């Protein structure tokens, strides 16, 4: 269920909170671009694209610092309470995860440059491309859920993250087989393992953002909760609101 916060008497405070939300979405869009571009650099062997993605990480880092500073200003000047305070705290947590997503995408881009020097596998890194598609979708859904304040998104993200973890384990088993059967591919396989690890972590960060939505809307910390526990809490709160 999509939810909205009430407007405030202070028009300027409304504008400050809206700026924060917009800045988070802009940072999220940049993180999405980095994830998409970095894995495309791997699949297509595009070093120019990889270098562009590496350069974008500085912008992501700057955005995190700027948003953190703006949040600090709001906390000091407005001394927000209740849902406003949760919004500011959720934004601080969210931009931290987005910055880490940028770091992981940067690592993937660096691996893409290394992989250009290696023989390309017959399947052209299809397993990594498929895993990346899942985590990109998770990040997009997390940001959309944050923008619309839809706590149900968190449930779907936890379930998707479980699939990503299973996919990661399957890829590791596949790569370990390559290491045993084709020792000449060791360097390439190790680089691919690092890429898969970064993708798995991006999925974790996207799931975290979903959990912040529950905290933001419901005022409850359900980190590490099962999807069933999340659903029960959200449904119960919806009944109480009706």
Could you give all domains of the chain from N- to C-terminal order, each with its CATH number?
11-241 (1.20.58.220)
80-84, 101-105, 232-236: which has the minimum mean pLDDT? 232-236
3-state helix, strand, coil in the chain (%, to 5): 85, 0, 15
Residue from 77, 95, 80, 82 nearest 23 by CA: 95
pLDDT band for position 239 (cuts 50, 70, 90) = low
Give how far Cα 122 sits from Cα of 43, 80, 127, 170, Å: 12, 56, 12, 18
pLDDT band for position 4 (cuts 50, 70, 90) = low
Query: Distance (Å, rounded) from C-alpha 32 to C-alpha 77?
Result: 32
**Looking at residue 8, what is its pLDDT?**
58
- Name the CA radius of gyration of the chain, rounded: 20
Q: Give residue-wise pLDDT tens across range 121-162.
A: 878 899 999 999 999 999 999 999 999 999 899 999 999 999
pLDDT band for position 235 (cuts 50, 70, 90) = low
Give how far Cα 151 sits from Cα of 6, 81, 84, 86, 162, Å: 17, 20, 17, 14, 18
Q: Contact at 8 Å (CB) between 212 and 146?
A: yes
pLDDT band for position 189 (cuts 50, 70, 90) = very high
Q: Contact at 8 Å (CB) between 97 and 205?
A: yes
Q: Give CA 36 to chain center in angstroms.
A: 12
Angle between helices 126-148 and 11-44 (to 10 degrees): 170
**Looking at residue 221, what is its pLDDT?**
76
Q: Give residue-wise pLDDT tens across range 30-79.
A: 999 999 999 999 999 999 999 999 999 999 999 999 999 999 999 999 99
What is the distance in angstroms between the CA of the first residue and the CA of the last residue of the chain?
Answer: 12
Asked if pLDDT for residue 242 goes beyond 60, the answer is: no
The model carries a pTM of: 0.90
**Looking at residue 241, what is its pLDDT?**
57
Asked if pLDDT for residue 240 goes beyond 70, the answer is: no
């Amino acid at each position: 269920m999509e939810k909205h916060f009430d407007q405030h008497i202070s028009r300027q405070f409304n504008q400050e909170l809206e700026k924060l939300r917009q800045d988070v979405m802009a940072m999220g869009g940049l993180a999405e671009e980095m994830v998409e571009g970095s894995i495309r650099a791997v699949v297509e062997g595009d070093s120019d694209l990889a270098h562009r993605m590496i350069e974008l990480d500085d912008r992501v880092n700057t955005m995190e610092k700027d948003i953190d500073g703006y949040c600090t200003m709001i906390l000091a000047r407005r001394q927000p309470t209740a849902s406003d305070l949760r919004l500011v705290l959720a934004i601080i947590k969210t931009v931290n995860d987005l910055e880490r997503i940028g770091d992981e995408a940067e690592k993937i881009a660096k691996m893409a440059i290394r992989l250009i020097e290696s023989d390309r596998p017959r399947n052209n890194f299809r397993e990594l491309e498929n895993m990346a598609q899942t985590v990109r979708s998770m990040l997009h859904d997390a940001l959309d859920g944050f923008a619309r304040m839809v706590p149900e998104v968190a449930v779907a993200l936890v379930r998707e993250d479980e699939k990503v973890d299973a996919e990661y384990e399957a890829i590791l088993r596949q790569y370990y087989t390559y290491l045993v059967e084709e020792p000449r591919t060791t360097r390439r396989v190790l680089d691919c393992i690092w890429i898969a690890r970064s993708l798995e972590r991006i999925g974790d960060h996207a799931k975290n953002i979903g959990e912040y939505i529950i905290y933001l809307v419901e005022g409850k910390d359900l980190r590490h909760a099962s999807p069933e526990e999340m659903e029960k809490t959200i449904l119960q709160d919806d009944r109480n609101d009706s």
